[in-house]
Structures are given as C-alpha cells and as structure tokens.
C-alpha cells in the first residue's frame, strides 16, 4: 500500500519518489527503472522505436485478435503513415519512444486502427 504525507489535505497529498516507485511496480521491476526520460535521441540508440501516434484523441495501434499494441518500427513512414510532428520521449527497456501527431484525415494502415483513448462516447 502506498503511504503519502498527510500534512496536506487528502486531495493534495504528496508522495515521495520511493513511494511512487513502489506503487508503480511492474512484474517485479519498477517502471521508473524501465523508462528513462530523454530530450534528444542519440544515434547510438537507433533501431525500432515505440511510436505513440495520435490523430486527435485517437491512438494508432496494431490490432491483433488478442490485443492492441503500440507500433514498434524504425519510422511511421515505414508503415505508410504521414506525420505532422514528433517528440522524443525517452527509452523504455532500452528502446526509443516517440510521440507523434498525425493529420486529422489520416487513415490507419492495414492491420492498424485508431481506437479512442477516452472510452466510448455516451
């Protein structure tokens, strides 16, 4: 259980970094040790990257029968996607991560879809 400082009102509690690391434990390894934020990618890290590509509020994912997965490729142009702008995020398990903005009229390539990240509209 995560314990927070209680000097502040309950809706404004601040947790220590150690408490957050323990609470974000993924498969026995803290997410903070798996993801390293970055400002610019180095050429030494070149290779397939995770692409968090958005068209508005919709995230581009590779759709399989079992799950939806974030695309991992050298570039989005490699799968036929036009990109307006990109932003380097850092590395997850040694693999570069980028966010990308796609044009509003973009179509998903074969095997990929744009599900909404905010859930179904009611």
Q: Which sequence spans correspond to the domains of the chain?
A: 1-35, 38-122
pLDDT tens, position by position, 58-98: 999 998 888 899 999 999 999 999 999 999 999 999 899 99
58/60 Cα distance (integer angstroms): 7
Find, among 70, 87, 88, the residue nearest to 79 by Cα.
70
Q: Is 97 exposed, middle or buried (0-12, 13-18, 19+ CB in 10 A)?
A: buried
pLDDT tens, position by position, 2-43: 443 444 444 444 445 454 444 445 555 555 678 999 999 877
24 or 47: which leads in pLDDT: 47
Residue 65: the pLDDT is: 85
């Amino acid at each position: 259980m995560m314990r927070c400082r209680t000097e502040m009102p309950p809706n404004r509690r601040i947790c220590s970094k150690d408490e957050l690391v323990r609470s974000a434990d993924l498969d026995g390894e803290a997410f903070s040790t798996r993801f390293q934020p970055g400002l610019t990618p180095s050429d030494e890290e070149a290779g397939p990257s995770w692409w968090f590509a958005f068209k508005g509020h919709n995230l581009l994912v590779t759709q399989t029968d079992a799950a939806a997965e974030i695309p991992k490729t050298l570039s989005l142009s490699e799968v036929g996607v036009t990109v307006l702008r990109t932003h380097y995020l850092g590395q997850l398990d040694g693999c570069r991560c980028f966010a990308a903005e796609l044009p509003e009229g973009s179509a998903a390539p074969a095997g990929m879809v744009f599900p909404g990240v905010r859930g179904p509209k009611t």
